[in-house]
Chains A and B, each alone.
Chain A
Amino acid sequence: MRKLQGIVIVAVLWALPSLAAEDRPFDPGTLEGGLWRTDLEAARSDARAARKPLLVVFR
């Protein structure tokens, strides 16, 4: 389980400019907030408009 959490944390540090972020700061304990979008289709639409790849994590 720690390995999975580590992987997700690394994903957060992925070298892409952040186009939008949650208002609340990222909580490494719960993996909530911070650099993760939560609206899948809005993120996808923005990624397409910005011509950036999208990382979708289901967890």
Chain B
Amino acid sequence: MRVRVVNMAGVDLNVYRFDYDLTFAALLMNGDGTIYHRFGTRDHSSATSRLTMEAFVDLLRETLEDHALYEKAPSPPAPLPRRTIEGIPPMTRKLQKKKIDCFHCHMVNDAERDLEREEGRYSREKVLGMWPLPDQVGFTVDPGKPSRVSGVVPGSAASKAGLEAGDRIDRMGTDRVRSEADLQWVLDNAPGDGARIPVEYERAGAPGRTSLILEKGWKTAGAAAFSWRSSMWGLRPRPGFGGRQLGKEELKKLGLEENAFAVKVGYIVDWGEESYTGKNARKAGIQNGDVIRSVAGKDRFASELEFQSWFRFTRKAGEKVPIEVLRDGKRVRVELPVLD
């Protein structure tokens, strides 16, 4: 049975749990609420590089086998109270002021972050640790056969556990894993202050068992890794402006090196509840058309998105951030007070 969901309105978040920042996600499940597998993974480099049709087709077939096995001895999960995006208190209050017809998946994360802030539970480290990729523990998987290890980083937790390229991961924790999203599910549920995750694998036809020993802080990826997420934009503090990285020819005209960080300010926020951040940026001296060259002394960002993510995860309300811009061929220095 197939169903496509294009709007998160009314979706029970305690049943349908996946990485809500994805623009494509699939759950393969039993009608009793048991999730067999998840599919849908991305990183900051590309929305599709970790997805293949081959892997998805294999997963569909394998799920039929898992379903047949499960149906022999079903064990439905204990029912949880229904939880919807409309019921998350900050969203409930927003809906009292204006109607929202379409709830995008990432809006679930936005609402939950708002709630965490209200309740004093917001943690940058926790947010940065969302849905860790297996890379975070030192191994990569083949996008065509995502339970197959394609590489292991020397000295990493995966390496210390003895995993090798070519191993097929069968189980992690208590879960049968067949996709990269399945691996992420296990890692997402493991504590960030240290964990021991049992792994069952197959190597050259023989079964093996080991454990991933994860140290405190293992989960926290860098701001760059978070930059692709739509929910990144909802995090605070914010610079109040943004734009686009200049292209090669534009950099050349300005006498800048080919990979120089140079973001031309294309907008200063003047809309909605966040307009105060734009007012703050204008007051500090940021102008449309300025080319941002460095922020707090940092002049190396892979993209404008990484800059936006980095700002949200590293700057603190109350500090003053020096920003160097190019304006009409001259270097100008401004100081941006950071607001919450």
Residues of A within 8 A of B (CB): 1, 3-4, 6-8, 10-12, 14-16, 19-20, 31, 35-40, 43-59
Could you tell me the distance in whole angstroms from the C-beta of A23 to the nearest C-beta in chain B?
15
Select from chain B the residue with minimum beta-carbon distance to A17.
B1
Q: Contacts A3-B51, A4-B48 known; A55 to B5 CB distance under 8 Å?
A: no
- Check A57–B51 contact: CB distance below 8 A: no
Find B29's partner among A10, A39, A56 (CB 8 Å cutoff): A56
- Check B24–A4 contact: CB distance below 8 A: yes
Q: Which residues of B contact A20 (CB under 8 A)?
A: 1
Q: State in angstroms the CA–CA spacing of A6 and B25 once bound together.
A: 14
Find A48's partner among B16, B23, B26, B31 (CB 8 Å cutoff): B31
16 contacts between A and B (CB under 8 A): A3-B53, A7-B56, A36-B4, A37-B3, A38-B4, A39-B3, A43-B1, A44-B3, A44-B29, A49-B31, A53-B29, A54-B30, A55-B3, A57-B25, A58-B26, A59-B5
Majority-rule SS of A interface residues: mixed
Q: State in angstroms the CA–CA spacing of A4 and B67 once bound together.
A: 25
Q: Contacts A4-B24, A10-B57 known; A50 to B1 CB distance under 8 Å?
A: yes
- Check A35–B71 contact: CB distance below 8 A: no
Asked if B36 lies at the interface with its beta carbon under 8 angstroms from chain A, I say yes
Q: Contacts A7-B56, A55-B60 known; A45 to B31 CB distance under 8 Å?
A: yes
- Check A7–B2 contact: CB distance below 8 A: no
- Check A14–B60 contact: CB distance below 8 A: yes
- Check B48–A31 contact: CB distance below 8 A: no
- Check A57–B24 contact: CB distance below 8 A: yes
Find B24's partner among A15, A36, A53, A58 (CB 8 Å cutoff): A58
Q: State in angstroms the CA–CA spacing of A38 and B47 once bound together.
A: 25
Known: A39-B3, A49-B31, A59-B25. 6 other contacts (CB 8 A): A3-B52, A15-B64, A37-B2, A38-B5, A56-B4, A59-B4
Could you tell me the distance in whole angstroms from the C-beta of B13 to the nearest C-beta in chain A?
12
- Check A57–B3 contact: CB distance below 8 A: yes
Q: State in angstroms the CA–CA spacing of A45 and B184 once bound together.
A: 28
Q: Which residues of B contact A16 (CB under 8 A)?
A: 1-2, 64
- Check B24–A7 contact: CB distance below 8 A: yes
Q: Which residues of B contact A47 (CB under 8 A)?
A: 1, 30-31
Q: State in angstroms the CA–CA spacing of A11 and B56 once bound together.
A: 8
- Check B31–A57 contact: CB distance below 8 A: no
Could you tell me the distance in whole angstroms from the C-beta of B316 to the nearest C-beta in chain A?
35
Select from chain A the residue with minimum beta-carbon distance to B5.
A58
Chain B 35-59 per-residue mask, 1 if CB under 8 angstroms from chain A, else 0: 0100010000001100111001100
Asked if B230 lies at the interface with its beta carbon under 8 angstroms from chain A, I say no
Q: State in angstroms the CA–CA spacing of A3 and B329 once bound together.
A: 43
Find B3's partner among A31, A49, A54 (CB 8 Å cutoff): A54
Q: State in angstroms the CA–CA spacing of A42 and B25 once bound together.
A: 20
- Check A38–B53 contact: CB distance below 8 A: no
Chain A CB within 10 A, most for which of B4, B22, B36: B4
Q: Which residues of B contact A49 (CB under 8 A)?
A: 31
- Check A56–B26 contact: CB distance below 8 A: yes
Asked if B158 lies at the interface with its beta carbon under 8 angstroms from chain A, I say no
Q: State in angstroms the CA–CA spacing of A3 and B57 once bound together.
A: 13
Q: State in angstroms the CA–CA spacing of A52 and B60 once bound together.
A: 13
Q: Which residues of B contact A36 (CB under 8 A)?
A: 2-4
Shortest 5 CB-CB distances between A and B: which pairs?
A: A48-B31, A47-B31, A43-B3, A37-B3, A53-B67
- Check A40–B2 contact: CB distance below 8 A: no
- Check A57–B4 contact: CB distance below 8 A: yes
Asked if B11 lies at the interface with its beta carbon under 8 angstroms from chain A, I say yes
